[in-house]
Amino acid sequence: MTKSAAGATVRELAPEERLRRLELMVTRRLDGMLQGQYLGLLPGPGSEFAGSREYRPGEDEVRWMDWAVTARTNVPHVREVDADRELTTWVLVDGSASMDFGTAEVEKRELAVAAVAAVGFLTAGAGNRLGAHVLRQNGIRRVPARTGREHLQALLRDLLGAGRAEAGADDVDLAAAIEGLQRSAIHRGLAVVVSDFMDETEGGEFRWERPLKRLAARHQVLAVEVTDPRELELPDVGLITFVDPETGRRREVSTGDRKLRERYAAAAREERAAVALALRRTGVAHLPLRTDRDWVADIVRHVLNQRRRAAAAPARQRPVGGGR
């Protein structure tokens, strides 16, 4: 390399150097902003007894009935629980061709790796496990759920060292990947899907929408949406050639046309709004990240919002897993 590691951009660094820089950024900044005991990424049920409340037909399971309180009050009650101390987290990382794009210091794929690093750090703890499904051109790479810092580092190293996808190659469908994750994640836990969620719609729905909703019916799910500013608006740089990373199709466009840039921005806003609406319909938590933003601050803001929500909610809404 002609530049030193300190002066090089992230994409110019070797995988090992990028991993060290990423680890320092996550551990120093997240740990500094979220010091002490903090709640996990998402609110949800656990197993430690925390009291009782009245039974809600259609919402509560009979197996959680508190028969002692029910007999004493003659009103059906269920037990409330705090968060489990041990958590299994599964991450699904989109490695399709559309993720090999970026006009800021990091590409979308590298930002996805950073999100996985943050999730691994935030869910780290005694007994907590992390597993992964990674979409690639040749299928889905499955990493068993294991504990420990070395396991997380190996996963991040694998993600950073992955080759770029070829334009026009057949990628694994995101919807099918989510269904595969659901089959693998047998025990209730946390599922994190990292993608740009760019997909075709069928019947007014994205193809990944129903599988994601089924995943959220059993697990706490966080959808990390990764975008780049050039996907949202075009600069005025004259005649350029666009290449669809998913299909390989090319098209020349004159970005000097102001109306064209306005139509592009309007269509991009509409698409991102449709993705946000679809994610709300599935009932998952939504964390948007951009390659030109301070992604660490965005993650911290999300975690702090979850902390405030969990503190204000009853015990049954406290977070899955405890972080540290």
The CATH number given to whatever domain includes residue 155 is 3.40.50.410
- Model-level pTM greater than 0.85? no
Shared domain for 197 and 57, answered yes or no, is no
Shared domain for 53 and 193, answered yes or no, is no
Pairing of strands 220-227, 190-195: parallel
The CA-to-CA distance between both ends of the chain, in Å, stands at 39
Give the pLDDT of residue 323.
44
Q: What is the pLDDT of residues 282-319, one digit of tens each?
A: 999 999 999 999 888 898 888 888 777 766 655 444 44
Give the pLDDT of residue 32.
59
Q: What is the CA radius of gyration of the chain?
A: 22
Residue 8 covered by a domain: no
Give the pLDDT of residue 276.
96
What three-state secondary structure class fits 317?
A: helix
Pairing of strands 250-254, 77-82: unpaired
Shared domain for 144 and 289, answered yes or no, is yes
Whether 128 and 88 have beta carbons less than 8 Å apart is answered as yes
Shared domain for 236 and 281, answered yes or no, is yes
Q: Could you give the CA distance from residue 275 to residue 291 in angstroms, rounded to a whole number?
A: 18
Shared domain for 71 and 97, answered yes or no, is no
Q: Could you give the CA distance from residue 60 to residue 53 in angstroms, rounded to a whole number?
A: 11
Shared domain for 64 and 124, answered yes or no, is no
Domains in the chain, number? 2
Residue 284 covered by a domain: yes
Shared domain for 182 and 268, answered yes or no, is yes
Torsions phi, psi of 8, nearest 5? -80, 150
Shared domain for 63 and 145, answered yes or no, is no
Residue 95 covered by a domain: yes
Q: What is the pLDDT of residues 231-285, one digit of tens each?
A: 898 888 888 887 776 677 888 888 888 898 999 999 999 999 999 999 999 999 9
Q: Does the pLDDT value for residue 65 go beyond 60?
A: yes
Whether 42 and 220 have beta carbons less than 8 Å apart is answered as yes
Shared domain for 98 and 69, answered yes or no, is no
Residue 273 covered by a domain: yes
- Torsion 291-20-189-315 (CA) sign: negative
Q: By residue range, what is the domain housing residue 251?
A: 87-299
Residue 320 covered by a domain: no
Give the pLDDT of residue 15.
58
Shared domain for 220 and 103, answered yes or no, is yes
Model confidence band, residue 51 (pLDDT cutoffs 50, 70, 90) = low
Mean pLDDT of the chain: 79
Residue 178 covered by a domain: yes
Residue 123 covered by a domain: yes
Residue 33 covered by a domain: no
Q: Could you give the CA distance from residue 178 to residue 136 in angstroms, rounded to a whole number?
A: 14
Q: What is the pLDDT of residues 96-124, one digit of tens each?
A: 888 888 787 788 988 999 899 888 888 87
